[in-house]
Structures are given as C-alpha cells and as structure tokens.
Structure 1
C-alpha cells in the first residue's frame, strides 16, 4: 500500500470524494453518476494488473465489497449491482461499482435515471451533479458507511 494516491484515485476526486479507506482500498464517489450512488473502489497500492496486488489486498477486498453493497442497498435501493474492472483509460487497479435499477432515483432534487437498464450500464449517460449535491451525496454515503461499521444503520 502507498501513502501517495494513485493517478486514478486523484482523477476520481480523492480526497474530496472519499467515502472510506482501508489499508488497501479507497472507496470514492464517481463525480459523474451513471446511476445514483456510483462508486469507484480503487487499490491504494500502485498496480496496473489485478494479479499484481498482494494477498492482503485480495483478503481486504471482500469486506469492502460487502460493505459497499450494504451501504448502496440502504442509500439507493438497487435491484442489481455491477462491479466493472475496465482499466482502459485509467490503468491503476480499480472497479466501478454501479447500482442498477429500473427507472430512476432522486436525491436532493436531482433525478438519476439508469439509462442502460436492463442492459449494460450507460456510463456515457452519467448525471454530472453540481458540487453541492455531490458533496451531500458523499456525506450521505459516508454516514451510511460509518453506521454500517457500528451496526446502527443510517
């Protein structure tokens, strides 16, 4: 693990968009939202291939994924969830986590349609919320993450 953020983490707004960090992973809100609550789970160590990550990073991924899914279930109420490891534009190891639902969800007066439902996510049709709405979404997801850690729900 590195104390220096990867270029991919920085591109997706680290540290502003940070929901949570573990020793090996950073959970970030995507600044552009293909669906409400879309996240990036980025490896904190420099690696450009999934197999380059250490055993501890793999072991640490399971609880991060479980918590991401629980938080998004609560905040978004998704019907399906997609974990995409594309790494074509941003080569550092990371996943896009896209909650999927029929129709749309609303947050702070902004509508977030799932333009790709029921097919692949429409990453190019993302909502670009204004900074204040994005900040409130980050805060809501952080609160849910913290509540999930204590078992209190948010």
Structure 2
C-alpha cells in the first residue's frame, strides 16, 4: 500500500471507497454505480500515459484483473466486464470497470439496471450516494480473493 496517492485516487473517493490495494494498483468502488459493482482501477503512480508505467505494473495487472473478475462473479454474475480507459478529465492512468448484464441486479434494496446493454455503457445513468457506494464497497471487499 502506498501512502502518497494521486489526485485521481481522491477524486474517486479514496481512501473511503478503497476495496483492494496492490503494489502498483488500487481498486475503488466507483462513486456512481453505473452498474452494480462498478469500480475504478487506478495506478498508484503519477503517470498520465499508460505505456510509461513500469513493467512490473503490467505484470501485476493480470493478478488485479483476475481478482476483480472473481469478486464480480461472486457479487454480480455479470455477462461481460468492460474496462474503459478514458483519462480525459482525470489524467492519471486508470480504468473504469463496469460489470455488464442484460437483466437488472438487486442489491441492498436498490435495483441496478444496465441502461446501455447490449451497447456501450451509459455513463450518465446509475445510482450514486455515499451509503449505496459504501455498501457496494463493503460487499466487494467481503468477496475479494485473499492474496
């Protein structure tokens, strides 16, 4: 776990929304749950260009994405998982991780449709609010693989 974080980490609610921490990456619950289990996978570095990351970050990315998909399978049972690297507003290397599904998912008294299915995700849709995001964060932590 790193003590120094970039602004993208803070923008997405870190450390409150932190699900898992690795040497080169961290995973946070996305403040706007476009779909149930939406996360942000953020580089722990200040790099703004994907190819500038150290080789070890690319190696570790395989383990991190494996953990992400394992946790999502347990919580959401998505039909697909989209990894979107947009980096237009928040410049540090990060991915929006969106589980995708054709039928709405229910969680903690809320219904989470996938408004964009089967096309691109509808990033303007979704559920936000601190209590919903923290509940999703806690649920993902509870199914996160131990390393």
TM tier, shorter chain?
over 0.9
**Secondary structure of 1:123 counterpart:** coil
Ranges in structure 2 where 5+ consecutive residues have no aligned partner: none
Distance of 1:70 and 1:28 partners within structure 2: 15
Question: What is the correspondence of 1:64-143 to structure 2 with a 5 Å cutoff?
Answer: 64-128=64-128, 130-143=129-142
Question: What is the correspondence of 1:19-58 to structure 2 with a 5 Å cutoff?
Answer: 19-58=19-58
What does the per-residue CA deviation read over 1:45-100, in whole Å, with 9 as the maximum and x for residues that have no partner?
A: 11000011001111111100011011001100100110110101111000011000
- The TM-score, its normalising length taken from structure 1, stands at 0.91
Q: What displacement does 1:2 show?
A: 5.5
Distance of 2:110 and 2:31 partners within structure 1: 14
List structure 1 runs of 4+ shifted beyond 6 angstroms.
Answer: none
Count of equivalent residues = 147
- The TM-score, its normalising length taken from structure 2, stands at 0.95
Q: What displacement does 1:132 show?
A: 2.4
RMSD: 1.3
Question: 1:71 touches 1:141 (CA, 8 Å); kept in 2?
Answer: yes
Q: Which has the higher helix share?
A: 1
Distance of 1:124 and 1:52 partners within structure 2: 30
Q: What displacement does 1:11 show?
A: 0.4
Ranges in structure 1 where 5+ consecutive residues have no aligned partner: none
Distance of 1:56 and 1:45 partners within structure 2: 12
**Secondary structure of 1:89 counterpart:** coil
Question: 1:2 touches 1:46 (CA, 8 Å); kept in 2?
Answer: no
Distance of 1:134 and 1:119 partners within structure 2: 24
